[in-house]
Structure 1
Amino acid sequence: MHLSVSEESYLFTYLSSVPPTRSDGRQPSAFRPLDTTSSFLPSANGSARVRTSDGSECIVAIKADVIKIGTPKADQNIEISSSVASEFGTTGSQDEPLPSFLTTSIHSALQNSLILERLKLTSRYSYKLYIDGVILSHSAHPLSLLSMAVYLALLDTMLPKLISNADDSGDNSAEDLPQFSDDWLDSYPLCPFNERGNYYEWSPPLILLAVIVGKNVFVDSTAEEERVSQGGVLVCWTEDIISSVKTINSISNTKQRRALKVASIKNAVDLLSSVYVEVKTALEKASRV
C-alpha cells in the first residue's frame, strides 16, 4: 500500500500518541470481527475458512494419509504448504519469502507441539497430515490469519477408525495394511473435546502478531498501521504456554527500521498474552457451532 509522506506522518502521529487513535476507532487490544466456517470441504479430513472485516480471507484443508513408520516419508508426521494470492496471481513457491516464512512458522509450531501418539495407528503404521493453506486475500501480514485457520481446521480434523488389529508386531502381519471403518460416523477427532471438563485434550499451537508504533502496541494491525510501524512481534503459544517469540519486519513496510527495543518487545508480548485466551476461546466456540 502506497502512502504519501504527509499521510505517513499523520498516521504515525496519531498512532504513537498517548492514548493512541486508530483510524477505525478500535482499542490497541481489539480485533476486528471474524467470520469463520468449518467442515465445508467434504473430501478433506478437516477444513476451515477465516475472513476478516477488511476482506482478508484464508482457507485451510487437511488430508490424512497412512505411512509406514521407518521410511523417509515418515520422518515427519506433518507436511505443510501455503500459497498467497495477489493481483499478479497465486504465489505458492516455497522458495519465495512470504510463503516460505508462513510454511516454516506453522510447521515449526506444529512439529514441536503435536502429540505423535495421536497419529500412531500400529507399531508399523501411522497417520501423516497434509495441511494446505491458501491466503485468498490480505492487506496486512497474513500469518495470524493463517494460524487461526490452521487452528480451526485441526480442531475440525476427523480420522477414520482402525478396525484391524492394532498389534501388528508379529511376523504374520508384517505386510498387512491397516483396515478402517467405512462409516464416517465411527471416525474420531484429532483434538478430542472433554464435554465434562469443557476443554480440548490437545489444542493446536496459535500464533498472533502485534506491531509497534512509537511506544504503542497494536494487535490485528491494518496495512496502514504496519506501514508506519517499526516492526512486529510474533508470539506462539503451545498448550497455553509461550513457546517462541520472534521479531519481524512488516510486509507492507519496505523502509529499513532500527531494531526494536527490548521494552517494546515485552509490551507486545504482554498485550498479546492479555488477548490470547479470548482469541483461543472464540475460535474453540466457533469450531463447536
Structure 2
Amino acid sequence: MVGLSAGEKHFICGGIAQDLRADGRQRLDFRPVSVETGVIPQANGSARVRLGATDVIASVKAELGKPNPLQPGKGKVAIFIDCSPTAAPNFEGRGGEELSIELSSALQKCLLGAKSGAGAGIDVSSLVILEGKVCWDLYIDGLVVSSDGNLLDALGAAIKAALSNTGIPKVNVAAGTTPDEQPEVNISDEEFLQFDTSAIPAIITLTKVGKEYIVDATAEEESQMSSAVSVSVNRHGMICGLIKRGGAGLDPSVILDMISVAKHVSQKLLSQLDSEIDAAEAAYAGNLPADDT
C-alpha cells in the first residue's frame, strides 16, 4: 500500500474533485504512452509498454495443439501474468502472487469474453488449422517491471502490441489422412501470417475517488479509491468485457455512465495505441537483419 499523510490524501482527493490531478492531468487524461515491439527475440511476438512510470512487457508464444473436443472450431489462448517483486514493495511474497492471479483472470475476461466466447476480442477461430484436429495454442505471458498504477490497462495495451508483432508460421497439412488419424503437418520456416489485431479492445479502468472517477490512476490515486470498473472496448465501440473491483457498491446508473465514458475515452486511446504500435513496428522492421537471399 502507498503510505500517504492526511494532507497528501486531501490534496489528491481535492484535486480530483476540481478536475486537476496532482500531476497536472484532468480526470479523463492518460499519462504519456510509449510502445516498443520485438523486445524478446525468442517469442513469436513481444512488446513493452510504458504508461507513465508503469512499465510492462508482454510476449506471445505459438505452439501446435489439438482443439478442445467441445470447441473443435477454435484454437486456445492462455494468459499468465507475473509481477516482479522489484516492481513494488507490496509485490514481495504472497502479494505479488495474488495480484498475478487477479490480473491474469481479469485479462482473460476482458480479451477472451465469456466462456461461450461471446464478446471475445481475440478471434480464437482464426487459430484453427484443421477443425477438431490441429490448432495453434497461444501462450501470452506478461511481466510487470515497474508499477505506478493502472496495471490492467497497461498490460492490455502490451498484449495488443505484442499480438501486432506476432508472426504465426504457415502450416501445410498432409493430404490423405483418414478421419481417425492425426494428420501430419509441415511448419514453414519462411512464411508467416500476421495476427489480426483489429478487433482487440483497449481496456479502460475508471477509478472512483470521492464522487468522481478518473482514468489511468497512479498508485497514489488508487490508494484513495472506493471502487473501480474496467471496461474493454473495441474500435467499433462494442463492449468486450467488464470487471468491477473494490468493496464499495455502485448504483447501476453510475455504472452505465462509466461505461459511456469508457466507450468515449477508448477511441482516443485506441488511435494513440495504433499510432505508437505502427511506429514501433516500423522501427522494429528497420532493425531486422537484411535478407541475404
Which TM bucket (shorter chain)?
0.7 to 0.9
Aligned partner of 1:56: which letter?
T
- Whole-angstrom distance in 2 between the partners of 1:271 and 1:150: 23
Alpha-carbon shift at residue 244 of structure 1 (Å): 2.9
Q: Which of 55, 58, 73 in structure 2 is aligned with 1:57?
A: 55
- Whole-angstrom distance in 1 between the partners of 2:171 and 2:148: 43
Alpha-carbon shift at residue 179 of structure 1 (Å): 0.2
Runs in 1 of length 4+ with deviation above 4 angstroms? 88-95
Alpha-carbon shift at residue 110 of structure 1 (Å): 3.2
Q: TM-score, normalised by structure 1?
A: 0.81
Query: Aligned runs of 1:169-184 on 2, under 5 Å?
Result: 170-171=177-178, 174-183=181-190
Q: TM-score, normalised by structure 2?
A: 0.80
Determine if contact 2:67/2:76 at 8 Å carries over to the other structure: no
1:28-77: CA deviations, max 9, x gaps?
Answer: 11111111111222211111100123x211001100000123579x9960
* Corresponding residue for residue 134 of structure 1: 143
**Superposition RMSD in Å:** 2.9
* Corresponding residue for residue 289 of structure 2: none
- Whole-angstrom distance in 2 between the partners of 1:93 and 1:71: 36
- Whole-angstrom distance in 2 between the partners of 1:162 and 1:140: 41
> What is the DSSP-based 3-state SS (H/G/I as helix, E as strand, rest coil) of the residue aligned with 2:185?
coil
Matched, 1:187 2:192: yes
* Corresponding residue for residue 67 of structure 2: 69
- Whole-angstrom distance in 1 between the partners of 2:140 and 2:95: 14
* Corresponding residue for residue 104 of structure 1: 105
- Whole-angstrom distance in 1 between the partners of 2:232 and 2:93: 24
* Corresponding residue for residue 126 of structure 2: 118
- Whole-angstrom distance in 2 between the partners of 1:35 and 1:119: 29
1:224-261: CA deviations, max 9, x gaps?
Answer: 22222222111122563113333212xxxxxxx64233
Q: Which runs of 5+ in 2 are unaligned?
A: 114-119, 280-293
The 3 A distance-change label for structure 1 pair 244 and 175 is closer
* Corresponding residue for residue 15 of structure 2: 14
Aligned partner of 2:13: which letter?
F
> What is the DSSP-based 3-state SS (H/G/I as helix, E as strand, rest coil) of the residue aligned with 2:148?
coil
* Corresponding residue for residue 199 of structure 2: 203
The 3 A distance-change label for structure 1 pair 213 and 111 is closer
- Whole-angstrom distance in 2 between the partners of 1:129 and 1:94: 27
Aligned partner of 2:9: which letter?
E
The 3 A distance-change label for structure 1 pair 65 and 39 is same
Alpha-carbon shift at residue 161 of structure 1 (Å): 0.9
**88-97 or 76-85, larger mean C-alpha shift:** 88-97
Q: Percent identity?
A: 25
> What is the DSSP-based 3-state SS (H/G/I as helix, E as strand, rest coil) of the residue aligned with 1:86?
coil
- Whole-angstrom distance in 2 between the partners of 1:66 and 1:79: 14
